DNA sequence: TATAATTTCTATTAACATAGTAGAGTATAA
DNA sequence: TTATACTCTACTATGTTAATAGAAATTATA
């Protein structure tokens, strides 16, 4: 798995919206400023997240973005997979990969699957509710 | 972590040499044919593996490649890191990464570190001796 | 109703990485 | 001496990434 800037931005954006869940909508520019992300790039990321059903938007004045479902229903793994693709470290799990005339007896294949499994055990067991709580807590710690 | 074709080829080449440890040297072309890898590309990979101290070579007639140390002393993780770089899924662990004005309080950072740790627990605990044994066993199974 | 604020959509681009190709040079066993 | 093998450097095609640009559509509100 490799996390791109786009994926990184997506996670931060969703977390931002999760922290704002059931409050106001947040505009692209607000998020871009707060997260220090190029606004036009973030715009594209948010559109993609919308198509993925993670966020909703309100157009026009007083518009902005908001989460499409509860933070507790969005897993870290879902978002990163949607934006950056499969978490498997090598494509030999995938169809496109050519280079193994006998994948079924490739000793590496099972290792990469094991890596993917362990990765999944982490990222598919963390919701944005968890993350929002954690950031809140950390912010408090640093504020006090 | 993302494993490139180059990394994939490197692992297969080292395994091939591990299976041949203390027997004859193996030429680039033999390996390229057996592993179905473009010979000129494999050539570069092997040169890199040599610079990394994983393999040795004999030039001229009757030449070829051989392992520089015992298969039991070469870990999967060492080779893949050397060829494909750090296993961390995101560069925010690295210096070059810009985009976190406060990495120390980034909730994602610790997650990616955890992923890297689990990955390391797998790939740094497998030697090419293990792998060579496994391929040998599997080959037998399919031969019988 | 006009306007400012906001999202939406499509295209373009610079830089870099990947995966490979090409060819001339060097060493060595037989 | 020669065939066989590794060595080295350069080149290239393709794709991906991380943006940037600008015009269009929508909507609250003054």
Q: How many CB atoms are closer than 10 A to CB A72?
A: 13
Structure-token pair, residue B33: 């044919």
- Written out in words, the top-level CATH class of the domain with range B5-87+127-139 is mainly alpha
- Angle at A121 (CA atoms; ends A117, A124), nearest 5 degrees: 115
Q: Which residues contact A42 (CB under 8 A, 6 or more apart)?
A: A9, A13, A28, A31, A32, A35
* Mean pLDDT along residues A14-23: 97
Nucleotide nearest B61, from its CA to each C1':
D4
- HEC string of chain A equals CCCCHHHHHHHHHHHHHHHCCCCCCECHHHHHHHHCCCHHHHHHHHHHHHHCCCEEEECCCCCEEEECCCHHHCEHHHHHHHHHCCCCCCHHHCCCCCCCCCHHHCHHHHHHHHHHHHHHHHHCCCEHHHHHHHHHHHHHHHHC
Q: Which residues contact B120 (CB under 8 A, 6 or more apart)?
A: B77, B87
Phi, psi of A127 (to 5 degrees): -100, 170
Residues in chain A with CB shorter than 8 Å from the CB of B3 are: 89-90, 112
Does A143 score more than 90 pLDDT? Answer: no
CATH 1.10.10.10 for domain A5-143: yes
Reported as a single tens digit per residue, the pLDDT across A60-111 is 999 999 999 999 999 999 999 999 999 988 766 665 666 665 655 689 989 9
Lowest mean pLDDT among A46-55, A107-116, B66-75: A107-116
Reported as a single tens digit per residue, the pLDDT across B34-44 is 999 999 999 99
For residue B90, give the chain A residue with the closest CA: A3
Q: Which residues contact A100 (CB under 8 A, 6 or more apart)?
A: A92, A106, A109
Q: Is the Cβ of B105 closer than 8 Å to some Cβ of chain A?
A: yes
Report residues of chain B scoring pLDDT below 50: 144
Structure-token pair, residue B57: 């070579």
Which sequence spans correspond to the domains of chain B? 5-87+127-139
pTM of the model: 0.92
Interchain pair B108, A37: CB under 8 A:
no
Structure-token pair, residue B88: 């961390």
Phi-psi region of A62 (alpha: psi -120 to 50; beta: other; left: phi over 0): left
Tokens 């050397």, located at residue: B82
The whole-number pLDDT of residue A90 equals 79
**In which band, very low, low, confident or very high, does the pLDDT at A136 lie, cut at 50, 70 and 90?**
confident
The whole-number pLDDT of residue A5 equals 95
**In which band, very low, low, confident or very high, does the pLDDT at A144 lie, cut at 50, 70 and 90?**
very low
The whole-number pLDDT of residue A1 equals 81
* Mean pLDDT along residues A43-57: 98
What's the CA B24/C1' D9 distance, rounded, in angstroms?
30
Alpha carbon distance A7, A16 (integer Å): 14
């Amino acid at each position: 798995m490799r996390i791109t800037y786009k994926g990184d931005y997506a996670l931060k954006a969703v977390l931002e919206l999760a922290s704002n869940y059931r409050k106001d909508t947040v505009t692209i520019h607000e998020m871009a400023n707060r997260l220090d992300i190029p606004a036009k790039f973030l715009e594209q990321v948010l559109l993609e997240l919308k198509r993925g059903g993670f966020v909703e938007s309100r157009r026009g004045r007083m518009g902005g973005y908001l989460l499409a479902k509860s933070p507790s229903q969005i897993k870290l793994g879902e978002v990163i997979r949607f934006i950056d693709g499969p978490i498997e470290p090598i494509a030999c799990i995938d169809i496109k990969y050519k280079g193994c005339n006998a994948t079924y007896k490739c000793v590496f294949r099972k290792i990469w699957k094991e890596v993917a499994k362990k990765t999944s055990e982490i990222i598919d067991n963390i919701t944005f509710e968890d993350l929002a709580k954690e950031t809140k807590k950390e912010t408090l710690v640093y504020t006090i």
